């Protein structure tokens, strides 16, 4: 990655973190409800029964998909959450079972225990991807570790819908991206659904 691209990403991450931290509790709740409703209206979630949906536990002011994941579970689907691994793939997905106790893993993430059933990325129907910024072409700026970049191709090859999930203010004109960065198929926000227009 070139120094200019790296600095552009760092600046965008700082700006978006500040915007997220500036949200009031009421704004966060109303935006989350609106975004989850839009997410569940997508064909990728219908029917939820039998679907395998990978999500995440929100941290640091991220938009939370918890409401959508609860719906999938209640309707007979399987919810998978990511775990950070020291060996490739560095992001692995594990099925969330009833009453399962999550543990705090690397970067403060709430993760399933290692004993939870692992689900290959290629077996997912939907992957909900967090990020700090997205654009209309599906480009994404994440947290800088490249963890999702390492599994998106496998999930997409298996037929999964790759869905970015973010506050609408996190949509920018153009995300800085290099050849190793993997984009999403669409982005769901509190205000709209953006289907990626590849360029």
Query: With 60 as the cut, is the pLDDT of residue 199 above it?
Result: no
How sure is the predictor about 1, in pLDDT bands with cuts at 50, 70 and 90?
low
Distances (CA, A) of 128 to 19, 137, 144, 186: 21, 17, 17, 10
How sure is the predictor about 63, in pLDDT bands with cuts at 50, 70 and 90?
very high
Q: Which of 2-6, 33-37, 123-127, 168-172 has the lowest mean pLDDT?
A: 2-6
Q: What pTM does this model have?
A: 0.94
Domain count, the chain: 1
CATH number for the domain that contains residue 177: 3.40.50.10420
Q: How many CB atoms lie within 10 A of CB 101?
A: 7
- For residue 94, what are the domain limits? 3-195
Task: Please tell me the distance from the alpha carbon of residue 22 to that of residue 160, in angstroms, as a whole number.
Answer: 33
């Amino acid at each position: 990655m070139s120094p200019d691209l790296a600095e552009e990403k760092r600046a965008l991450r700082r700006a978006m973190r500040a915007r997220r931290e500036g949200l009031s509790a009421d704004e966060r709740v109303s935006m989350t409800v609106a975004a989850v409703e839009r997410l569940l209206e997508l064909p990728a979630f219908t029917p939820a029964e039998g679907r395998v949906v990978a999500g995440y536990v929100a941290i640091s002011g991220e938009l939370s998909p918890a409401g959508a994941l609860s719906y999938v579970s209640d309707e007979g689907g399987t919810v998978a959450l990511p775990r950070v691994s020291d060996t490739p793939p560095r992001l692995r997905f594990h099925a969330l079972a009833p009453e399962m106790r999550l543990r705090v893993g690397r970067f403060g993430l709430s993760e399933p225990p290692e004993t939870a059933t692992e689900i290959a990325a290629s077996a997912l129907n939907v992957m909900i991807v967090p990020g700090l910024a997205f654009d209309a072409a599906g480009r994404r700026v994440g947290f800088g570790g490249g963890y999702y970049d390492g599994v998106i191709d496998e999930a997409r090859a298996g037929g999964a819908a790759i869905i970015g999930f973010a506050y609408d203010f996190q949509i920018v004109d153009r995300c800085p991206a290099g050849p190793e960065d993997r984009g999403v198929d669409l982005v769901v926000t509190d205000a709209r659904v953006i289907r990626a227009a590849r360029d």
